[in-house]
Structure formats: structure tokens, C-alpha cells
Amino acid sequence: MPSGVSTLEYVVEVAKDWTLARFAAAQADDFVLAPHRFELCGNTVHRHAIPPRSAEGRSPFDAVRRTRQPTAWSHSAFLSVLAGSDSDPVHYEQEIVEILALDDDDVLAECAFVVRIEGFPPCLGPFWSAL
């Protein structure tokens, strides 16, 4: 297994693949992504469900300052977006999925927007690097 950033990137790719598969398998419009942690253990990545209301489930980086091995988290979040002009702004919330990853030296973050249309399962857009 490669070391350094390439190892962390591997854990991120596993987390992204799993997250994409969860959205692809969604059958209902009320599907919600539960938060999960992905940890590199030897040559495999172990996935663990995290309670959504826990500190780690709400905001992994605020709850976990250091990890012993490369670790990634997959969870959904809502962003408050302000659009329009100064005189007539429009406020709305946008759902995103974040993949956050951390090891001793490096931090990686990727996100994808969630599109919801009533009566259809949610659709996850492409991931892009947030940092």
C-alpha cells in the first residue's frame, strides 16, 4: 500500500464509491445518507456507521482531531446559500454530501450536490475537491 497522500486518497475513493452506490440504490424520494467512517486497516478499508446525532456524525473534523490511520467520513450537510442582488437577495438551503479525510499530516475534502425532485429518488452529482 502506498504511503502519504496517495493512501489517504485511496480511502477517499473507497468512501466516494460507497456513497455513490448508496445513492444509486436509493428507491425512495425520502432517502437520507447516514454518516459513515472509513478507516484504513492494513490493506483493507473498514466502514462503520456513525450515529447521525453524535458530534462525529454532525461534524467529523470538530469531533475528531487526530486519527491513528487514514480515515474518511461520508455525510450529508445543508448549506445556506444567498443568491441574487444586494437589493433582492434570495436565501435557500442546498443539500450536499461531503467526503472529509484526515491522517497525521494531510486533510482532503470533496463534495457533491444532491438534487431532489418530488416523487423520484435523490440524485448525487459529481464530486469536486473542496480544498
Highest mean pLDDT among 58-62, 89-93, 95-99, 103-107: 95-99
Q: Considering the entire predicted model, what is its pTM?
A: 0.85
Q: What is the mean pLDDT of the chain?
A: 89
Tell me the three cell numbers of residue 61. Answer: 473534523
Give pLDDT, residue 1: 46
User: Residues with Cβ < 8 Å from 43, sequence gap 6 or more?
Assistant: 1
Other CB atoms within 10 A of residue 121 CB: 15
For 98-107, what is the mean pLDDT? 88
Q: How far apart are CA 8 and CA 131, in angstroms?
A: 14
The string of pLDDT tens digits covering residues 32-84 is: 999 999 999 888 899 999 999 998 988 888 777 777 789 999 999 998 888 88
Greatest pairwise CA separation for the chain in angstroms: 56
Beta strands in the chain (DSSP E): 36-41, 44-49, 71-84, 89-102, 107-115, 123-124, 128-129
Q: Is the pLDDT of residue 95 over 70?
A: yes
- The radius of gyration computed from the CA coordinates of the chain, to the nearest angstrom, equals 16
